[in-house]
Amino acid sequence: MLADHAEPNVQSGGLDPNLHLPAAWRLALLDFIADELPRWRDDPKRPIETAETSLTSRLCAHMNSATRKSGGWDFLQFRVEEPDELVGGRKLDLVPAPSAATIWIDGREYTQYTPLIPIECKRLPIPAAGTRDQREYLYSASSSTGGIQRFKAGHHGAAHSIGAMIGYIQSQNIDFWHGQLRAWLRDLVSTPIDGWTADDDVQITKQDAAAKSALLESHHQRTGLPDIKLHHLWIDMTGSSRQSADTNHD
């Protein structure tokens, strides 16, 4: 588990309550999302799709329903394609934010307009295309679209010390992609590519063979910004009754 305690039982109550929560609460929130990923993947009512934007949109809908049913998370909402707080023109794939509430964490105010955690979503593998880099979950040589790359550069989450990435695994398995990610990082370090070191390694912290999911962590230095810790939530979509040969390439 990311958080070593039970989920907080905080009810939204009336309009615009003020909730004061500890920093570790965000880890419980990530645990909540991670626990819901297998339920979302296996939902027989989920449309059969494999395109990244479609998957993230469906996941957003599922999470909004899950918060209402959870009994302890109903003061949250999820949204897709949200503008980054500091970097104009950049959009976050998925964000949880307060709903009819103001949340305070370590003295910082979060409202319905403020992402609690910036989340980037990526397919594994990246769709084959001339403009895409197969390493895009980590880094892209042709653009700034690399997932971890965006956080390291401050293009995503510059106002945050914690971020998250969701990996939709659509071929092979978790162990394969973990090994592939580490191999790509070794290549970046040995090339060398400026700013990348062995300290950017992504490590598995928990793996659930039955649910075909995993939690991973990585730590990254940022130029001119505090370090950021990324929590990676991976869900294996292969073998699911909802997996298909969809040819969308986003």
Give Cα 150 distance to the centre of its chain.
13
pLDDT confidence of residue 130:
74
Q: Is the pLDDT of residue 140 over 90?
A: yes
Domain-embedded: residue 4: no
Indicate the pLDDT class of residue 145, thresholds 50, 70 and 90. confident
Q: Is the pLDDT of residue 10 over 50?
A: no
Taking only the tens place, the pLDDT of each residue in 25-54 is: 999 999 999 999 999 999 999 999 999 999
Tally of structural domains, the chain = 1
Domain-embedded: residue 214: yes
Average pLDDT, the chain: 89
Mean pLDDT in residue range 162-185? 98
Domain-embedded: residue 154: yes
pLDDT confidence of residue 224:
94
Domain-embedded: residue 248: no
Domain-embedded: residue 13: no
Domain-embedded: residue 247: no
Buried/exposed 123-150: b ≥16 CB within 10 Å, e otherwise: bbbbbeeeebbebbbbbbeeeebbbbbb
193/248: higher pLDDT: 193
23/248: higher pLDDT: 23
Q: Is the pLDDT of residue 23 over 50?
A: yes
Q: What is the number of other CB atoms lying within 10 angstroms of the CB of residue 204?
A: 14
Structure tokens at 144: 């700034």
Counting every residue written for the chain, the total comes to 250
131/214: higher pLDDT: 214
pLDDT confidence of residue 143:
80
Q: Is the pLDDT of residue 105 over 90?
A: yes
30/142: higher pLDDT: 30
Mean pLDDT in residue range 72-86? 92
Q: What is the pTM of this model?
A: 0.90
- 162 is in which domain, residue-wise? 18-236
pLDDT confidence of residue 144:
79
% of the chain surpassing 90 pLDDT: 78
Domain-embedded: residue 94: yes
Mean pLDDT in residue range 174-184? 98
Q: Is the pLDDT of residue 243 over 90?
A: no
Indicate the pLDDT class of residue 203, thresholds 50, 70 and 90. very high
Domain-embedded: residue 208: yes
